[in-house]
Every structure is written in C-alpha cells, then in structure tokens.
Amino acid sequence: MFAVDRYPSVSSFDQAGPFRAASSGVWMEYFFQQVVNGLTLGAIYGLIALGYTMVYGIIGMINFAHGEIYMLGAFISLVAYLIFSSIGGGSVALALLATLLVTMVFTAIWGWVVERTAYRPLRGAPRLAPLISAIGVSIVLQNFVQIAQGARVKPLPPVIQGGVTLDLGKTFSVNISWLQIVIILLTLALMAGFTWMISRTSLGRAQRATEQDMKMAALLGINVDRVVSATFVIGAALAGVAGLMVTLYYGVIDFYIGFLAGIKAFTAAVLGGIGSLPGAMLGGLLIGLTESLWSAYFSIQYKDVATFAILVGVLLFRPSGLLGRPDVEKV
C-alpha cells in the first residue's frame, strides 16, 4: 500500500457524509468544501508539475527523480522548521519564511547536482539512457533518505491553525483554513513570478529559445548547459516549496511520498499538455479537484485509480493534453 494513504485524507472534513445530506444547503456546503480542499491539493501538484513540464520542454526528458526532489524538500523543510522554530524566539511567520527560503535553496542545489551528475553526461545519448538514469537517481534518493532519516513516518504538529468561515448564501458556509489560504496564495505568487520570469527576463527567453532549437541557441552564444541547469534548479526549488506545503498540510512525511506525488504531478503535466507551463498549472488543479471530489462522492480507496485513469485516457485520446501543442511533423 502506498504510504500516502496513511495521511489524514482531504475528506477528513467529511463529517456528515454526502449521501446523508438532507437539504441542498448541506449538499452545496459539502461540495464547496471539497472544491477548496481540491484546489489546495491541486496547487501542490501544480508546483511539482511545473518542474516536469519545464524539463520535458527543454531537453525532451521525463525527470522521474523529480518526485524525490519534492520528498527531499519535505524533509529539508521539516528539519529547517524545527531548527528555526527553536531558535526563532516564537515568531511562527518568521520561522516559516526562513524555512521556505532554506528549502528552496537546498532543493535547488539538489536539482543542480542531479542534473550535473546523472543527466548532463548523457546529453546526446539515446532517449532511454537518461530515463533509466532518472529512475536510478530516484532509487538512490529514496534510499538515502530512508537510511539517513529512518523509515518511520515523521510527524510535525500543526503549525498554522484556525481559519475563516465564508458564508455563501443563507444556507451554507465553507471553512477555509489559514494554511489553505497560505498554500493557494503562495502558489499563485510563485506561478505569477515564474510566468513573469519565463516571458520577460533574458533567462526566460534563453530557456524558450533552447526549448525550440538547442543548437541554434548555442550558436547565438547562449551557454545551453547553463540554461538547462537553471531549468532544473528552478523546477527543483518549486518542488521544494511543494514539499514544504505538504509537510505543513498533512503533518506527516516519509521517504516514500515522492513516488506517488511525483506520478500524480506527472499525470497533471500530461493532462495539461507536457511542455506547456499554463497546462501544468491547470493540470495540477484538475488532478487535485478530481482527487478530492472523487474521494468525497465515490470511494476514497479508488482515488488513485481515478487519477491514473485520467492519465490513460489522456494518453489514448488526447496525447497532446489540454493546452499542449500537437507535434507537427516536420517536412
């Protein structure tokens, strides 16, 4: 069984149960509650999915070690938070901010190291080689954390508590925890900053150019290796933030969480159209919503089946995804 299933699930908000709902007010309340939970989950998936889609866009490779970077981010944030909260003198916000920065920096370094050691030497090798290397890195990182941190689940008591209750109409209201608000706002801010970086800065232009024609970019004086490194570093930092969020949101992590979250984020990237950045964000949200609504109305045991059924469906019927560009055959 996947370790993730041990987490208090998103539907722990489910106290009344949907089918016992007596009035439409209760029904609406339940629905909107699940949407809020789904958006939160989707934000986390979206942040991870960006890393998959960026790397695929630029070097045409699925970085299957990306989920492990997210897992490392969760561990780094846990350790960093424990350190900062003990020396920070009581300010939770300050400790969280420091944790965020440290997590981003360290996961970025991990991303750089992985690219440098496992993928760059294989640039130009057959496509299967870096894929196998990625799976190797994934196993190495999982085992490294398992040995270094132990296989047991690591708990973190809730850091941000409380929330707001939105009254929507007369008959029902929705609870949004502060943590959910923080996660969604931070994700929006990161995605906005990231979009700005890609579309407006010189590095972003170089990334898009490298994505479209790597050789030509090099001929214009762009150090392509450095651009690819930057892509891994940025993707890893975003996955690190997702790791921090999941640590805070679920309060328990272990060395195995990268696997399932990684594949789900990959599903999100494929659903949105692999290589498309808005697609990754949209795909993340849709996968998050699917999971939480499926758990709410059908069977929580089958929520992963539902997610991966989407993956199969997209690959069968719309391989280019929702926002992806269909491959145009060059003549």
Partner 1 sequence: MRPPPLLEVHGLTMRFGGLSAISELSFVAGQGEITAVIGPNGAGKTTLFNCITGFYRPQTGRLVLHHPDGKALGLETLPDHAIARKARVARTFQNIRLFPRMSVLENLMVAQHQVLMSASVFSLAGLLGLGRYRRAERAAIDLARHWLDRTGLTSFADSEAGALPYGHQRRLEIARAMCTRPLLLCLDEPAAGLNPRESSDLNQLLCGIRDEEGIGLLLIEHDMSVVMGISDRVLVLDHGCLIAEGSPDEVRRNPTVIRAYLGEPDESAVVLGGEG
Is 224 an interacting residue with respect to partner 1 (CB under 8 A)? yes
Both structure tokens of 36? 């809020």
Q: If you ran DSSP here, which 8-state letter would residue 19 be given?
A: G
| Closest separation in Å from C-beta 328 to partner 1 | 10
- Please identify, among the stretches 158-166, 208-216, 261-269, 280-288, the one whose residues bind partner 1 according to the rule CB under 8 A: 208-216
| Closest separation in Å from C-beta 227 to partner 1 | 9
| Closest separation in Å from C-beta 110 to partner 1 | 21
Q: Contact 285/37 with Cβ under 8 angstroms?
A: no
Is 212 an interacting residue with respect to partner 1 (CB under 8 A)? yes
Binding test (CB under 8 A) with partner 1, winner from 116, 154, 208, 318: 208
Q: Which is nearer to partner 1, 73 or 273 (CB)?
A: 273
Return the C-alpha torsion angle 319, 321, 324, 328, nearest 10: 20
Q: Which is nearer to partner 1, 90 or 221 (CB)?
A: 221
- Please identify, among the stretches 69-77, 162-170, 222-230, 252-260, the one whose residues bind partner 1 according to the rule CB under 8 A: 222-230
Is 95 an interacting residue with respect to partner 1 (CB under 8 A)? no
Q: Is 262 exposed, middle or buried (0-12, 13-18, 19+ CB in 10 A)?
A: buried
Q: Contact 53/277 with Cβ under 8 angstroms?
A: yes
As a whole number of angstroms, the distance between CA 135 and CA 303 comes to 25
Q: How many residues bind to partner 1 according to rule CB under 8 A? A: 18
Question: In a 3-state reduction of DSSP, which class is residue 163?
Answer: strand
Binding test (CB under 8 A) with partner 1, winner from 209, 260, 309, 323: 209
| Closest separation in Å from C-beta 118 to partner 1 | 21
| Cα–Cα nearest to 64, from 107, 145, 149, 128 | 128
Is 206 an interacting residue with respect to partner 1 (CB under 8 A)? yes
- Please identify, among the stretches 56-64, 147-155, 213-221, 285-293, the one whose residues bind partner 1 according to the rule CB under 8 A: 213-221
Is 181 an interacting residue with respect to partner 1 (CB under 8 A)? no
| Closest separation in Å from C-beta 325 to partner 1 | 8
In angstroms, what CA-CA distances link 37 with 46, 199, 217, 256, 291? 14, 30, 42, 23, 10
Site for partner 1 in 145-174 (CB under 8 A): none
Residue 260: CB partners within 8 Å, gap ≥ 6? 2, 3, 4, 67, 304
Is 216 an interacting residue with respect to partner 1 (CB under 8 A)? yes
Give, for 164, the enclosing helix (H) or strand (E).
strand 163-168
Give, for 174, the enclosing helix (H) or strand (E).
strand 172-177
Site for partner 1 in 59-88 (CB under 8 A): none
Binding test (CB under 8 A) with partner 1, winner from 162, 202, 316, 317: 202
Binding test (CB under 8 A) with partner 1, winner from 217, 228, 239, 268: 217
| Closest separation in Å from C-beta 209 to partner 1 | 4
In angstroms, what CA-CA distances link 223 with 18, 142, 207? 56, 32, 11
> What is the contact surface with partner 1 in residues (CB under 8 A)?
202-203, 205-206, 208-209, 212-213, 215-224
